[in-house]
Amino acid sequence: MFGVIRDLFRNDKRFAFGFSVLAFFVIIAFASRFAPYDMRAWNTVPRDLRPSLKHPLGTNSIGQDIMWQAMAAIRNSLLLGVIAAAISRVIAIAVGLLSGYKGGLFDRVVMVLTDSFIIIPLFPILILIATILRSSLNMVVLGVVIGLFGWAWDARLFRSQILSLKEREFTKTAVYSGLSTFKIVLSEHLPYIVPLVMATTINNLIWVIGMEVTLSMLGLSNLNTPTIGTMIYWALQYQAIFLEMWNWILTPVTICIILILALYMLSTSISEYLDPRTRLQMIRKR
């Protein structure tokens, strides 16, 4: 995996840009731990202050420092994305690898279940669950809920790769040598789909962040927890656009755009890397 990252960083400017931006946001997320204010509290600073040395991005109408709120929002949104992506990747990899390798009745039953998750309209279900769990909804719970519904498409994608790999000679050699199914899919097949897992993970992060922003703007998340979505929600609730408080509304919107753009560039560069012709061009440039 680290070899893939090194090759992409050296040879693809889009990956280098996306990786650098994401690394910068991760640093900001860690730095938010040193905030001098309680990020969930209101009226910790004077309201509606313009940007200054003390408050570089100003303050909002509920008495919060916008810069520190933005840093905490980045941390929580990334945390949500990581939780949801990790859960959905584990399910997608397990389902895709085992279903593709085992085949037969097991494959058919699992694919019926997978197709059911694909067909189900996820957004209305997430709205319903978020409404029911709203009083106890935190980043971990929301991440788990979104993760449990975000694996089906990628499981099918992984399965299609395994269907091809299990016909290769190295798979037959592994079977004849007495390796168990578990060892074959983990040691023989999983390394081949690592770049694909990376690409789908980034796509899943984009989807999760977009889903959080949408749910928060509808008021269906924990609005006391600073995220990109809740920052936009409160800015709209207090009419930041009409009051021309651009520092309040544009901060989360800009962060959202830059973060999704960086993740998109990472995803497209990795997807192109999966094409053997692209890797051959990288080798020729060395």
| pTM check: above 0.85 | yes
Q: Are 139 and 225 in contact (CB under 8 A)?
A: yes
With 0-12 / 13-18 / 19 or more C-beta atoms within 10 angstroms meaning exposed / middle / buried, residue 12 is buried
Q: Which has more confidence, 255 or 100?
A: 255
pLDDT(184) > 90: no
Q: Which domains does the chain have, with CATH numbers?
A: 62-285 (1.10.3720.10)
* Higher-pLDDT residue of 237, 5: 237
Residue 115 in this model has a pLDDT that exceeds 80: yes
End-to-end CA distance of the chain: 19
Task: Compute the average pLDDT of residues 133-143.
Answer: 83
- Residue 103's pLDDT band, with cuts at 50, 70 and 90, is confident
Q: What is the DSSP string of 17-37?
A: HHHHHHHHHHHHHHHGGG-SS
Taking all residues of the chain, what is their mean pLDDT, rounded to a whole number?
Answer: 87
Question: Has residue 58 got a pLDDT over 90?
Answer: yes
132: β partners: none
Mean pLDDT of 49-64: 93
Q: What is the mean pLDDT of residues 105-118?
A: 90
Distance separating alpha carbons of residues 231 and 221, to the nearest angstrom: 12
| 232-241 tens-digit pLDDT | 999 999 999 9
**224-277 pLDDT, tens digit each:** 899 999 999 999 999 999 988 999 999 999 999 999 999 999 988 888 877 655
- The angle formed by the CA atoms of residues 48, 230 and 218, to the nearest 5 degrees, is 120
pLDDT of residue 3: 65
CA–CA distance, 79 with 198 (Å, rounded to integer): 17
